[in-house]
Amino acid sequence: MEWRIVVTRSVPEPALDLLREVGEVHVCEQERPLRTSELHEAVRGAHAIVTMVHDRIDGAVADAAGSRLQVVANVAVGYDNVDVDALAQRGVTVTNTPGVLVDATADLTLGLLLMLTRRLGEGERLLRSETPWSWHMSFMLGTGLQGKTLGIVGLGRIGQAVAHRARAFGMEIAYTGRSRADPDVAAALGARYLPLEQLLDEADAVSLHCPLTEATRHLVDEKVLERMKPSAVLINTSRGPVVDEQALARALGRRSIAGAALDVFEHEPKVEPDLLDLDNVVVVPHLGSATTETRTAMAVLAARNVVGMLDGTGPSTPVSA
């Protein structure tokens, strides 16, 4: 049987080469998220679908594909864009790509933290605008990281990698989450577990590394922002809807917190307009995994998951319903 494999957007060639070894590969040509009708049309007759984080994959998509559909391979760690239960009811396996983007996302998180605390974005904008300036002792002062407390929300693989890097900058580590980390892991990172409220009271920087679920949607809201120190900053490289962007814009505007850096957005690719008018905000366009090595590894892992399903050896990283 010739397997039909649909890829909803272009991915690195090494992944496509793997897929072509087992079936007919159709790559959607649009360099934008597919509209619902386009997605339904594209997946008809597919045995496997390779999807991106912006694709909403639900029971209707599976029904459009038809009874031959066996696997949906999401090229992302998070899979909040996929209705796993609906697909499981139809006998479709969902996979994701954990592990391969840990370092890239952790690196970006520390980069965003430095951009905030050392005012790097402000400094570049100053020069690009050709605003007159001169060096003096109080010019564009930021804050150092040494001795400051980094509060990590979600000490999973990426949270741990961020903690490891932050320790190299001399930061103290506190964390919170649904459960406590393995004691050996926490000890190696010097990480203290704190309830969220206490973490907000103590942290000089709060970094979000939790999945998007109904429990974490708008986890960072008006109350959380009011609880943070006025001198603290917020970094989000997890999922946009974890933060209420309108509440964040209000808090930043009245300086309830010192700053925020966002790689992901609540209504991506749209950004809350009020955030863009503020100097104490750093925004980048979902670059957490954006290295050649990482994006290739993500796509290749997704392809291997597809191959494993179609050849009967099984996927490497299935998602549990």
Assigned domain for 321 exists: no
pTM of the model: 0.93
Which residues are part of the catalytic machinery? 239, 268, 286
Task: Say what angle helices 102-117 and 120-128 make with each other, to 10 degrees.
Answer: 70
Task: Report how far residue 300's alpha carbon sits from residue 287's, in angstroms, rounded to the nearest whole number.
Answer: 19
Please tell me whether residues 129 and 79 are part of one structural domain. no
**Residue at 58: amino acid letter:** D
Edge-to-edge strands, sheet with 23-27: 23-27, 3-7, 48-51, 71-74, 93-95
The pair of structure tokens assigned to 71 is 């696997």
Residues β-bridged to residue 4:
24
Q: What is the full per-residue pLDDT of the chain (321 aa) written as tens digits?
A: 699 999 999 999 999 999 999 999 999 988 889 999 999 999 999 999 999 999 999 999 999 999 999 999 999 999 999 999 999 999 999 999 999 999 999 999 999 999 999 999 999 999 999 999 999 999 999 999 999 999 999 999 999 999 999 999 999 999 999 999 999 999 999 999 999 999 999 999 999 999 999 999 999 999 999 999 999 999 999 999 999 999 999 999 999 999 999 999 999 999 999 999 999 999 999 999 999 999 999 999 999 999 999 999 999 999 997
The pair of structure tokens assigned to 111 is 């980069």
Please tell me whether residues 18 and 159 are part of one structural domain. no
Assigned domain for 242 exists: yes
Q: Which domain CATH number covers 141? A: 3.40.50.720
Task: Report how far residue 203's alpha carbon sits from residue 220's, in angstroms, rounded to the nearest whole number.
Answer: 14
The pair of structure tokens assigned to 260 is 């925020």
Question: What is the dihedral angle through the alpha carbons of 80, 85, 91, 95, rounded to the nearest 10 degrees?
Answer: 30
Which domain, by its residues, includes 52? Answer: 3-100+292-311
If one counts the domains in the chain, the total is 2
Assigned domain for 60 exists: yes
Angle of CA points 154, 51, 28, to nearest 5°: 150
CB 148 within 8 A of CB 204: yes
Task: Report how far residue 139's alpha carbon sits from residue 75's, in angstroms, rounded to the nearest whole number.
Answer: 44
Assigned domain for 7 exists: yes
